[in-house]
Amino acid sequence: MILQLVTCFIFLPGNTLSQWNNIQRDLHENVFYGHFRNNQGPLSRVDRQPSREWKIGKFGPCTSECGGGMQYRRVECVQGNQEISRVVDNNLCPLPHPASEQTCNNHKCGSLWSVGLWSPCSASCGPGQMKRSVVCTTKLSDGRHLPIKEHMCRSNKPETTKPCYTKACKVDAKYIPLIRSENLTFIQLKQVPSINVRVGSNAIIIPKTRVTIRCPVKNFPPHIVNWKKNDYILPLYGRVRKSMKGALKIRYAIAERDAGIYTCFAGSLQANSSIQFQTLKKAQKIASAFNSADDDLQTNVKKNYKMSPGIIADASGTRRKKVQFLTKKWSPCTVSCGSGTQMREVDCAIKTDSYLKLYPDSECLRAGLQKPGTVQKCVEMHQCPTWRIDKWTNCTAQHCIRDGISMITRQVDCIFSNGSITKPSACHGELVPEHRRICGNNKCISLWRTSKWTGCRPYCGPTRYKYRILSCIWKHSKKPAGINCKRKQRPHARVACESSSCINVCRDKSRYCSLVTYMKMCRYPQFRTECCRSCRNHVYWRYR
């Protein structure tokens, strides 16, 4: 044990200050041994009280984004130093006690949809429906939710019902749900207020038309039929609604918002329909492209084969309409001469003034109709023209294309057997014979040709030049040779002349001398000096 003598002062009960003399400090155990100044009794052990202080952590995140929340932090009373410390009772640390919580985000909350839990499925088997409550609310500062009017929630209202299907019910086959779809293409031909199609069809309509897509389901409650568009749940509000019978209704259909694939759901069953748009002009063009098939042909087939008339039910109206084969115009012949083929489109359809319905061919065949031909032979000019080829010309220097290279040609014509010439495209079935070919000729030599030198320009002065024109030509034919001279030495096109003094030479020194003569300013000496040559020929100057 190592001791150290110290003197301490201590407050005793009653607020009296007492001095301790000859205090001995154990440096290893950090304890004191001593006695009062007036007390000579034996030494007693006195422990030094270690320091105590508050240990405060940081506030955590707010428990609510709006309407008032709380933040919490850790507050502890610790005893010891930085190296060794322990948590003690909070009453041992000095006052005041630091707060361990505080309020936050006291601003008012906006409107939001408050949704409840889904109810159990309404049916124990087969298709059913689940419901939940959806209320527009706002959160108060005390945490309570206050209901408000629905229009105050700007976002779309969540669904309050959804279909459910727990398991299949054990029923007879005749009671199994079935979607009665229709496999056809519906084409609107003129502007009408509304159209009515059945699910399964592909509709091509004109904008601004009211569209109804029916989804008839056998053995299934129609009011819980649901719809999707392009694999997303279709919001049923505004222009787009669902009838009590499950039909989808689109008011004032427009291409930008309503084109797509619509899916009808009835439990685990589904069927698709598509909506496309076309202009009124295109619809009229389609209407004029189809013709009715030969009535005599249809009548004879029914008579010979003893089949039922071509009448089927039309979902667009209450009356049953006649199905028939419609044909388009024949295509041009596949050849421009000789024997070829022509093709045309033939469709099984119901055609009215307002719409065209295209069915599979099997519908017309089942109705006892024979499909008209789609291919026929055609003849364009009984004999095809052929190529007439003349002999090659001689390899001369008249058709040089490069140094040492010339070109030979021959006449190639497309002619009939009587010798008359026709356009080359009439012989398109054969390759066009070669009518131009290069050949070697040593007389093809390019060279520079120069013109005569001009006079020296200007007429006087210290620097004057004369010029000449250069051109590249073929030596023998004298025809232009283009760029074939670019690698040959180019003659000078300009050379200097001897200088000539301009003293006492009558010339124009200004570029505005034409205005001087026009304005009759030559009467003044300074203008006659500047525009000597122009004023010399002026009438005033001549007859002054």
What is the Cα gyration radius of the chain? 54
Residues 272, 185 share a domain:
yes
pLDDT at residue number 256: 92
Residues 153, 199 share a domain:
no
SS3 289: helix
Q: Is residue 25 part of a domain?
A: no
Residues 338, 415 share a domain:
no
CB 75 within 8 A of CB 101: no
Closest residue by Cα to residue 348 from 315, 313, 322: 322
Encoded tokens for 281: 């002009």
Q: What CATH number does the domain containing 182 carry?
A: 2.60.40.10
Name every residue whose Cβ is closer than 8 Å to that of residue 359 and which is 6 or more positions away in sequence. 183, 184, 312, 323, 348, 349, 350
SS3 115: strand
Cα–Cα distance, 181 to 1 (Å, whole number): 104
Cα–Cα distance, 396 to 406 (Å, whole number): 7
Count of structural domains within the chain? 5
Q: Is residue 117 part of a domain?
A: yes
pLDDT at residue number 101: 92
pLDDT at residue number 297: 43
CB 55 within 8 A of CB 78: yes
Encoded tokens for 488: 């040959």
Q: Alpha helices, DSSP H only, in 259-338?
A: 280-289, 295-305
Domain end: 380, 403, 420, which one?
A: 380
Q: Is residue 488 part of a domain?
A: no
Q: Is residue 334 part of a domain?
A: yes
Cα–Cα distance, 406 to 439 (Å, whole number): 5
Closest residue by Cα to residue 297 from 310, 285, 278: 310
pLDDT at residue number 40: 45
Name every residue whose Cβ is closer than 8 Å to that of residue 499 and which is 6 or more positions away in sequence. 461, 462, 463, 464
Q: Please state, as a whole number, how many other Cβ atoms lie within 10 Å of the Cβ of residue 128.
A: 17
CB 271 within 8 A of CB 198: no
CB 122 within 8 A of CB 109: no
Q: Is residue 69 part of a domain?
A: no
* Continuous segment of H or E residues that includes residue 530: helix 525-530
Name every residue whose Cβ is closer than 8 Å to that of residue 34 and which is 6 or more positions away in sequence. 8, 20, 21, 22, 23, 24, 43, 44, 46
Domain that holds residue 149: 110-166
Q: Tens digit of pLDDT for each residue in 441-489?
A: 999 999 999 999 988 877 777 888 999 999 999 999 999 999 999 999 9
Cα–Cα distance, 322 to 13 (Å, whole number): 120
CB 141 within 8 A of CB 67: yes
The CB-based long-range contact list for 266-269 (8 Å cut-off, 24+ gap) reads 266/127, 266/177, 266/179, 266/215, 266/217, 266/220, 266/224, 266/225, 267/126, 267/127, 267/163, 267/165, 267/177, 267/220, 268/165, 269/177, 269/178, 269/179, 269/217, 269/220
Residues 161, 122 share a domain:
yes
pTM, full prediction: 0.43
Q: Which residues of the chain have pLDDT under 70?
A: 1-50, 82, 141-143, 171-173, 291-320, 382, 428-429, 503-504, 538-544
Residues 206, 228 share a domain:
yes
Q: Is residue 6 part of a domain?
A: no
Residues 336, 267 share a domain:
no
Q: Are strands 248-250 and 260-266 parallel, antiparallel or unpaired?
A: unpaired
* Number of helices and strands in the chain (H, E): 8, 43
Q: Is residue 417 part of a domain?
A: yes
| CA 503 to centroid of chain Cα atoms | 78
Encoded tokens for 210: 């009211």
Q: Is residue 53 part of a domain?
A: no
Q: Are strands 210-214 and 194-198 parallel, antiparallel or unpaired?
A: parallel
Amino acid identity, position 295: D
Q: Please state, as a whole number, how many other Cβ atoms lie within 10 Å of the Cβ of residue 57.
A: 11
Residues 229, 151 share a domain:
no
Residues 275, 207 share a domain:
yes
CB 169 within 8 A of CB 126: yes
20, β-bridge pairs: 8, 36
Q: What CATH number does the domain containing 120 carry?
A: 2.20.100
Residues 412, 316 share a domain:
no
Residues 269, 312 share a domain:
no
Encoded tokens for 527: 């203008």
Residues 235, 316 share a domain:
no
Identify the sign of the CA torsion 190, 196, 198, 199. positive
Q: Tens digit of pLDDT for each residue in 208-235?
A: 999 999 999 998 999 889 999 998 999 9
Name the one residue in this structure whose structure tokens are 């006892």.
368
Q: What share of the chain is helix, strand, coil (3-state, %, to 5)?
A: 15, 40, 50
